[in-house]
Homo-oligomer: A and B are copies of this chain.
Amino acid sequence: MPELRQDPLTDTWVIIASERSKRPSDFASKKEGKKDSGSCPFCLGNEHMTPPEILAYRERGQSNTDGWSLRVIPNKFPVLQNEGQADKDTIGLYEKMHGVGAHEVIVETPDHNRPLGEESEEHIFGILKAWQSRYLDLKKDPRIQYTQLFKNHGAVAGASLSHPHSQLIATPLVPKNVIEELEGIERFYKKEGKCYFCESVEFEKKDRARIVAENNAFIAFCPYAARFPFETWIVPHKHSEYFEESSDEELRSLASILKRTISSLSQALEDPPYNLVVHSAPYRMNEGQRYHWHIEILPRLTIVAGFEWGTGFYINPTPPESAAGYLRQTH
């Protein structure tokens, strides 16, 4: 069973994934880089290589055979598991918790070589519907407080298989970064009487310097204090706390702006490695807490090194105004 441990000083939680415990020699060999083996477990016909599917879009065939256009499966090496309760325990100065949760993979397409930005808007809409469906399903589990949906694209960004896929990890507590955002939003609301994200969208629409793309429901922009070169956020115009409560119409608009943003990044930066992260509200918010869901796309072009680990500062060599300008030129 994986274990959650907390650093009592900074409240950072760590998942000690002890079931895939690694010895020194496992890391030494990793230096050679990961390669896709000949048979990719996410490709058509290799359904037997993955755990049984949770969800699939298929025109024909039975579960766990070919004939699908999208599959959701449990991660074969889950960092959190759907067993037992999230019991807390104290070890001297420290706290730990059972690693209860879920870890799933969304295989976005049967086509090993078709990245997200090259899919049709209709297909991307289908992927977003699958994300939504998993958010809503996991919400029913009272042990789960938060679902983190993310996509790692490229080996440098942590993708161990190149077949297009996204993942989710559902956690038994609200993550530190989300708590920080909730507190920031609350602080801003108390001071200004408004949602920070709503205000920020207004400001960016007036300023225009950092806008990458816009449509009827969303704005894509490089944030003023971008941590990474070409970091781009996609934020709904409408104040809305939960990604999973989006209407089909909204998800179609999201599919459109997501395709455009990812294509722009891919064109400007020659298919860069990136992490895509959905920020949605915790399943059960406290009285008075507010959120405004959004997506952050973090190209991995710089290395986070000693200075950043020590301070929490980031160094960004590309002003977001320049980055947005380059990305707009690709349209």
CB-based contact A225/B14 at 8 Å: yes
Given known pairs A93-B196, A93-B200, A184-B9, the reply for A21 and B319 (CB within 8 Å) is: yes
C-alpha gap A232/B5 in the complex (Å): 16
C-alpha gap A136/B79 in the complex (Å): 45
C-alpha gap A313/B7 in the complex (Å): 11
Q: Which single residue of chain B is at the shortest CB-CB distance from A176?
A: B312
CB-based contact A315/B268 at 8 Å: no
Q: Which residues of chain B are within 8 angstroms of A17 by Cβ–Cβ distance?
A: 315-317
Given known pairs A150-B307, A151-B306, the reply for A317 and B6 (CB within 8 Å) is: no
Chain B nearest CB, measured from A43 CB (Å): 22
Chain A positions 251-270 with a Cβ under 8 Å from a chain B Cβ = 268-270
Chain B nearest CB, measured from A171 CB (Å): 7
Chain A, residues 300-331, CB within 8 Å of chain B (1/0): the string is 01011111011111111111101000100000
A152 is an interface residue with CB less than 8 A from chain B: yes
C-alpha gap A23/B230 in the complex (Å): 10
CB-based contact A277/B309 at 8 Å: yes
Given known pairs A16-B319, A227-B14, the reply for A148 and B307 (CB within 8 Å) is: yes
A298 is an interface residue with CB less than 8 A from chain B: yes
Given known pairs A24-B268, A176-B313, A312-B177, the reply for A303 and B200 (CB within 8 Å) is: no
Chain B nearest CB, measured from A287 CB (Å): 20
Given known pairs A150-B306, A306-B275, A318-B21, the reply for A313 and B14 (CB within 8 Å) is: yes
Chain B nearest CB, measured from A112 CB (Å): 20
Given known pairs A14-B314, A79-B315, A188-B9, the reply for A298 and B307 (CB within 8 Å) is: no
Q: Which residues of chain B are within 8 angstroms of A21 by Cβ–Cβ distance?
A: 317-319, 322
Chain A positions 218-238 with a Cβ under 8 Å from a chain B Cβ = 223-227, 229-230
Chain B nearest CB, measured from A19 CB (Å): 9
A213 is an interface residue with CB less than 8 A from chain B: no
Q: Which single residue of chain B is at the shortest CB-CB distance from A272?
A: B27
Q: Which single residue of chain B is at the shortest CB-CB distance from A306?
A: B150
CB-based contact A304/B304 at 8 Å: yes
Chain B nearest CB, measured from A274 CB (Å): 9
C-alpha gap A309/B304 in the complex (Å): 12
CB-based contact A7/B225 at 8 Å: yes
CB-based contact A24/B269 at 8 Å: yes
- A30, A167, A188, A318: residue with the most chain B Cβ atoms closer than 10 Å: A318
With A5-B225, A15-B313, A148-B307 given, can you name 18 additional A-B contacts, CB distance below 8 Å? Answer: A7-B223, A7-B225, A9-B181, A21-B317, A23-B322, A24-B270, A27-B301, A91-B224, A92-B207, A150-B306, A150-B309, A151-B306, A152-B305, A152-B306, A158-B305, A175-B310, A176-B312, A277-B310
Can you list 17 A-B contacts (CB < 8 A)? A7-B223, A13-B312, A15-B316, A16-B320, A21-B319, A22-B317, A24-B269, A24-B270, A150-B309, A151-B306, A152-B306, A158-B303, A171-B311, A175-B310, A177-B310, A275-B306, A304-B304
Nearest 9 Cβ contacts at the A-B interface: A150-B306, A158-B305, A175-B311, A9-B184, A177-B312, A176-B312, A277-B310, A275-B306, A158-B303
